[in-house]
Amino acid sequence: MQASSRAIVSSQQGPHQDLVRRVQRARDSEWKRPPAEHTRLAFEKADRWLEAQSRPLILDAGCGVGLSTRRLAERHPDHAVIGVDRSELRLSRDHGALPDNARLVRADLVDFWRLALAAGWRPARHYLLYPNPYPKSTQLKRRWHGHPVFPSLLALGGALELRSNWAIYVEEFALGVETLLGVEGEIAAFTPGATFMTPFERKYFESGQTLWRYRVDLAPSLPRGEPIR
């Protein structure tokens, strides 16, 4: 049966007119909200696990049901893969046993990213895979590149890959990276292989929607131990 997923509809015809201002404000303002206790505890456990792994890190941010974390761990057996999602229900979905080099973590990404930065994490690869985009023009601040955490996300460095079924969302993210770091990445439409990274990827593809991918190499822009903002 062919999947049926409605394409994203938005009043925006291009990147949000307020995006650059919001990104610059996030860069210039100190964010002082302390991390939630449950995320701090979850991060401490993940940090100990990562140290014991003694392998380069792949961070799967917003991993949903964790299928992408499994796929990445299988594809990169010489890396430690950590998938993070805030939903216990999604993380509890059964997609088979996790490989030894993978771990799923229930945590708030906004706090988890800042804790990772403060702890000196430097992922070799960093994935943001579907969906986020919050397409209403009034929802810019809920998109990752419109959120105050955006500078911390980028400061982790590594080879970052974002996927979405909304081209404008990908264009905005790329513009945010260029605004903060002056780094240009590559945006391209793509066709997934036989193994889909996430259930969303399968659903969007089988619904005939164009899938977009943004890739960029980020040099770490903050020193190890930068205070949480």
78-99: pLDDT as tens digits: 999 999 999 998 898 876 789 9
What percent of the chain shows pLDDT beyond 70?
A: 94
126-138: pLDDT as tens digits: 999 998 999 999 9
Q: Which residue stretches of the chain have pLDDT < 50? A: 1, 221-229
For residue 160, give the nearest of 182, 193, 184 by alpha carbon.
184
Could you tell me where the DSSP H helices lie in the chain? 19-28, 37-53, 67-75, 88-91, 109-118, 150-155, 167-181, 199-206
Could you tell me where the DSSP H helices lie in 32-159? 37-53, 67-75, 88-91, 109-118, 150-155
Please report the pLDDT score of residue 94 as a whole number: 72
CATH of 19-218, one of 1.10.645.10, 3.30.465.10, 3.20.20.140, 3.40.50.150: 3.40.50.150
Q: How far apart are CA 157 and CA 117, in angstroms?
A: 10
Cβ atoms < 10 Å from Cβ of 39: 21
Task: Give the start-to-end residue ranges of the domains of the chain.
Answer: 19-218
pTM summary value: 0.93
| φ, ψ at 32 (rounded to 5°) | -105, 0
Tokens 């430690």 -> residue: 80
